[in-house]
Homo-oligomer: A and B are copies of this chain.
Amino acid sequence: MTDETPDDTDLAEPGGKVRLFIEDGLAAGDAVTLTEGQAHYLRHVMRAKSGEAVRLFNGRDGEWRAALALAGKRGAAAVPERQTRDQTVASDLWLCFAPVKKAPAEFIAQKATELGVSALRPIITRRTIVSRVNVERMRANAIEAAEQSDRLDVPDCHDPASLPWLLTAWPSHRALLFCDEAGAPPILDALKAAPMGPWGILIGPEGGFDAEERAAIRALPQCVPATLGSRILRADTAGLAALAIWQAALGS
């Protein structure tokens, strides 16, 4: 125990520096089994010991302080003691992005999770070169980013969908921020004039959308076209910039 000499690596203050996302429900006294990866991380990276405090969250039950219980050579569990934060509702904001070569989906997942997206939706467009998206790895990165950024939930990580499919199934009450390259109003003006409620941000691939795709997106009644300014941004930069600006204008 390190209670007497708390420092930056102290697991026990103020409720454990280590935060772990778990799938199980959280209730006082109900031990949860940690995954092999979490157990390995606690033992060998954080050098944690039984009895030390960690923080747990599952996206539903808020955040809990829990006592670590290492068992055997590999096993680990944690026993929730008390709730340290109530569950809050995050922004309902999807990021729909065409995966690009130069910025792995994992990178986008990490940054977008920090910036508060509720769902990550890879989109396959005509000019999309990347054909495979490792959704599992994307989710692992989103979980890690959620653990480190004090989020109380993990964004939904979807399988890739084609653009027509995304547009066909777009919910009628969800605004679609379309970061178009040309002829659209500045993003802050577009957001100011737009309705409250759930949103999605749509970012194209390196070569942009083709003319027919752009027409189909703009034809959607929920579409809010906007420009990010006169600069030419890489696809991944554009996505993160749009998220940051959306949060500053409409987020919490």
Contacts from A to B (Cβ < 8 Å)? 8, 111, 114-116, 148-151, 186-188, 207, 228-234, 237, 240-242, 244-245, 247-249, 251-252
Q: Oligomeric state, in number of copies?
A: 2
Distance (whole angstroms) from the CB of A203 to the closest CB of chain B: 13
Known contacts A228-B248, A231-B151: does B237 contact A111 (CB below 8 Å)? yes
Find chain B residues with CB under 8 A from A237 CB.
111, 114-115, 240
**How many angstroms between the C-alpha atoms of A233 and B240 in the bound complex?**
12
**How many angstroms between the C-alpha atoms of A76 and B139 in the bound complex?**
47
3 closest Cβ pairs, A-B complex: A241-B244, A149-B232, A244-B244
Find chain B residues with CB under 8 A from A229 CB.
116, 247-248, 251-252
| Chain B residue nearest in CB terms to A186 | B248
Find chain B residues with CB under 8 A from A252 CB.
229-230
* CB < 8 Å neighbour of A8 from B207, B231, B244: B207
Besides A230-B252, A240-B240, 16 more A-B contacts (Cβ < 8 Å) are: A114-B232, A114-B233, A114-B234, A114-B237, A115-B231, A115-B237, A116-B229, A148-B234, A150-B232, A228-B248, A229-B247, A229-B251, A241-B241, A242-B244, A244-B244, A245-B245
Find chain B residues with CB under 8 A from A111 CB.
237
